[in-house]
Structures are given as C-alpha cells and as structure tokens.
C-alpha cells in the first residue's frame, strides 16, 4: 500500500485547499416586481420571465 513519505505541512495543505472556496451566488432582480430571482429562472413572485407571463396569476397561489 502506498504511504505518504512526508507529512503535509499546514502551508501545503492551505495551498491545496485554496481552490476549494465557493463562488458567491449570482442574483438578478425581476424587472417587473424587483424581487430577487436566479438567472434563467422565472420569477417566483409574479411568474414572469423575459418580460412575458409564463405562469398565470391564479396558478401561483396553488
């Protein structure tokens, strides 16, 4: 079984983990109701996407 010859120093460990960070979440705002929406998703508040109504008002309440 392969065994590490040297222990990983805290510096090396930090260098390896420097790429493990998460990117901040991308948030856009609905041009119709100013709610926060994810990119390429329809607005959960008013049901609009790309300036047109996708989900009717009645269907949202259910």
Q: Interface residues with Zn ion (CB under 5 A)?
A: 30, 32-33, 35, 43, 45-46
Structure tokens at 7: 């222990």
State the nearest-atom distance from the C-beta of 24 to Zn ion, in Å: 22
Residues constituting the chain: 62
CB closer to Zn ion, 15 vs 54: 54
Distances in Å between the Cα of 50 and the Cα atoms of 2, 14, 27, 39, 46 are 56, 43, 15, 11, 12
Closest approach, Cβ 21 to Zn ion, in A, equals: 31
Q: How far is the CB of 37 from Zn ion (least distance, A)?
A: 7
């Amino acid at each position: 079984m392969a065994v590490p010859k040297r222990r990983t120093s805290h510096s090396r460990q930090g260098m390896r983990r420097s790429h493990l960070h998460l990117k901040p979440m991308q948030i856009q705002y609905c041009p119709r109701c100013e709610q926060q929406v994810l990119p390429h998703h329809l607005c959960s508040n008013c049901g609009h996407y790309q300036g047109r109504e996708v989900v009717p008002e009645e269907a949202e309440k259910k």
